[in-house]
Amino acid sequence: MNWTSIITAGLSGLFGSLLAIVATPTLQHHFWRRQRRAELKLKTVEVVNTLTNRFIQQWIAADLRKERYKPALDWYEEFSAADASVKALFGKGTYQIFKDLEKRIAPDLGAVGSHPSVPDFIEARDAAVKALYEEVV
């Protein structure tokens, strides 16, 4: 039996074990952080989708009653919190698409022409939600 082979095998095993001890927690933490960030992003997308759906449904109901719709203060608080989450978690391009949607949160749906357009609002909402999901999935 060759002593060099035995020593090399022993050192190799020792080095491999030490490497695993040091690297495993670091790698686990890295992947845990990525997973947690993805979960936060998905939760943010759900909140944005829910809030914008609630807004458009309430806006349509008020419009049918020939009233102007203005969300309650708590809706604005939730939307502001969602805005902060989108800004913190997503890239600048995605955040800009979200801000384009935010401009439509108004009694006139941010209409450029003479009348509000529900399809334009829904298109802006869909573009924002799609951009948010694309960055996560």
| Residue span of the structural domain in which 126 resides | 33-136
Any domain includes 132: yes
Q: Given the structure tokens 């939730």, which residue do they identify?
A: 78
User: pLDDT of the chain along its 137 residues, tens only?
Assistant: 677 877 787 777 777 777 777 767 777 877 888 999 999 999 999 999 999 999 999 999 999 999 989 999 999 999 999 999 999 999 999 999 999 999 999 888 887 666 778 999 999 999 999 999 999 98
By CB atoms closer than 10 A (0-12, 13-18, 19+), residue 125 is buried
Question: Whole-prediction pTM value?
Answer: 0.80
Any domain includes 28: no
CB 71 within 8 A of CB 55: yes
Q: Given the structure tokens 């800004």, which residue do they identify?
A: 87
Mapped to the 3 state alphabet, what secondary structure does 84-122 carry?
HHHHHHCCHHHHHHHHHHHCCCCCCCCCCCCCCCHHHHH
Domain count, the chain: 1
Any domain includes 129: yes
